[in-house]
A and B are shown apart, each in its own frame.
Chain A
Amino acid sequence: MDWKKYVREHLAPLKLDQAREMEMVDELAQHLEAVYQEALDSGLSERDALSRATAHIKDWQLFECELIRARKPPAPARIKQHLTSNAKVESPFGFGGLGMGSFIQDLRYAARMLLNGKAFTVVAVLSLALGIGANTALFSLIDAVLLKMLPVKNPNELVLFNWLSGPRGMSRVIDGRVSTDKATGQRTSTSFSYLAFERFRDHNETLSDVFAFFNLSQLNVSLDGQPEIASGQFVSGNYYSGLGVRALMGRTLSPEDDSAASTPVAVITHRYWQRRFGQAPDVIGKTITINGVQFTIIGVTPPEFVGALQIGESADISVPFSIEPRFNTGDSNMAKPWMWWVQIMGRLKPGVTLDQASAGFEQTFQQSAQEGWEGLSFDSPRAQVRLRRHLIFQNFGRRPAVRV
């Protein structure tokens, strides 16, 4: 079923700008497709799933009417708009109307008042400075507290891989936050290709373990025919052993689960077990459908553990990376060297410094970086490529706030 075509056939032109109109069609099509997929997952026949999805929007005219109404500004805004457009004619500034004119007037007035009351100005500036200083101190305190809260074995030994980009970028697709490193001004991120992770894991001498994870944020879950949305993550088979987290019930994932031929299994958090299963003791072995794939629940993690995702995020369900091709209907990202999406962590061996550990991975990292660059469609001759990337480890015992 081509849902975009279906929406286009039913929806009259919306009189939005062309790009926004196409986006609106996309959104509607995705919505209907999600309803359809969910209906299929819950066991409905294709025909019933179709009629459930199409029933979601029967009155296409209502949609158009709602959209017309949505384009009208709220009453107070209309009044303001009216006043502003009238004021433009009389504005002494010639352009910008009342809004800009009064803003400039306000600025001038504020400057005059501040110069008149010098003592007041000094006090105000000092107060602001103190306020900013206090916020910085508070942030540092939170930083230290949050770090220690990661409820795993020896969290101060954990390190998170990230990179600094060369001048020409890192890879064709980077899924994850990319920011500018304050010290160097270079782009930095914690996303790597899955191939890079495998290399780090297999050519590692300085860390006791190298494991990976990826935030799926939303999973379509169906349990006993009841659909719902849950958060989730892909994890490598050694994720739990690397973090030092043991199952409260059942077992966690193991390296055997990394095999593409393995049976789909899932580990759930204590919170999800509580919320969805009412702490039923027979949860282990239950079948759950996630994004159309059937999984067996093999374990529940302890109550205090919600994963190593960003602070404030948690994953109800963890499934092995080996299942990713099935979620992605055969178009797997695991073998794409230019798709940087996986987050990688490790645990420092006793006596190894961050610098030593970073240096130990430099060669394998350069290989992955070269691959990421070669995937770019606007590739330049290799001689001009300047790969100045470095690996930086963030010690969770000291600098977790970079992940906030």
Chain B
Amino acid sequence: MLNLEVKRGSAEMLILALVEDRPRHGYEIAKLIEQRSDGVLQFHVASLYPMLYRLETRGWIQGRWVEKAGQRRRRYYKVTAAGRKVLNEQRQTWLDFFAALDRVAGIKPA
């Protein structure tokens, strides 16, 4: 059964998915969400950084300041083992949701 948490969960899932393979900083995360969704999904700065903070507080992602040659010091976030578990659960929830939509209204995810 889907609940109200799903909507917020989708934003969390996007972030977790983007830091699943490699660490990324906040600006990169926001840009990638916009780019990969062809501008359909956009994250406001006012929501993004508090959400990163929340995910970090929950232990789902871990932030670390990294200083690289040729680049300025930035805070990179990567998914933790707990975050990976949550990500997998959320992916499954969305799959169930899409399947339910499809059964009722004939809508398939792209």
Residues of A within 8 A of B (CB): 23-24, 26-28, 30-32, 34-35, 56-57, 59-60, 62-63, 66-67, 69-71, 73-74, 77, 173, 175, 214, 216-218, 228-229, 234, 312-313, 324, 327-328, 333, 339, 341
Rounded to whole angstroms, the CA-CA distance of A203 and B13 in the bound complex is 52
Cβ-defined contact, A70 with B57, below 8 A = yes
7 cross-chain pairs, A with B, having the tightest CB-CB distances, nearest first: A66-B50, A70-B54, A341-B69, A63-B46, A57-B45, A62-B46, A67-B50
Contact of A229 among B32, B49, B69 (CB under 8 A): B32
Q: B28 within 8 Å of A by Cβ?
A: yes
Cβ-defined contact, A57 with B46, below 8 A = yes
Chain B 47-71 interface residues, beta-carbon cutoff 8 Å to A: 47, 49-51, 53-54, 57-58, 65, 67-71
Cβ-defined contact, B70 with A23, below 8 A = no
Chain B CB within 10 Å — which of A69, A70, A228, A312 has the most? A70
Q: Which residues of A are found within 8 Å of B51, using beta-carbon distances?
A: 66, 70
Contact of A71 among B31, B32, B57 (CB under 8 A): B57
Cβ-defined contact, A63 with B74, below 8 A = no
Q: Which residues of B are found within 8 Å of A35, using beta-carbon distances?
A: 27
Chain B 65-110 interface residues, beta-carbon cutoff 8 Å to A: 65, 67-72, 74-75
Q: B16 within 8 Å of A by Cβ?
A: no
Q: A23-B65, A23-B75, A34-B27 are in contact. Are A63 and B45 (CB under 8 A)?
A: yes
Q: A70-B50, A175-B68, A234-B70 are in contact. Are A229 and B28 (CB under 8 A)?
A: yes
Q: Which residues of A are found within 8 Å of B21, using beta-carbon distances?
A: 312
Contact of A67 among B30, B44, B53 (CB under 8 A): B53
Supply 10 A–B pairs (Cβ within 8 Å), ascending by A: A30-B27, A34-B27, A63-B46, A66-B50, A69-B54, A70-B51, A71-B57, A217-B71, A229-B35, A312-B22
Cβ-defined contact, A328 with B70, below 8 A = yes
Q: Which residues of B are found within 8 Å of A77, using beta-carbon distances?
A: 58
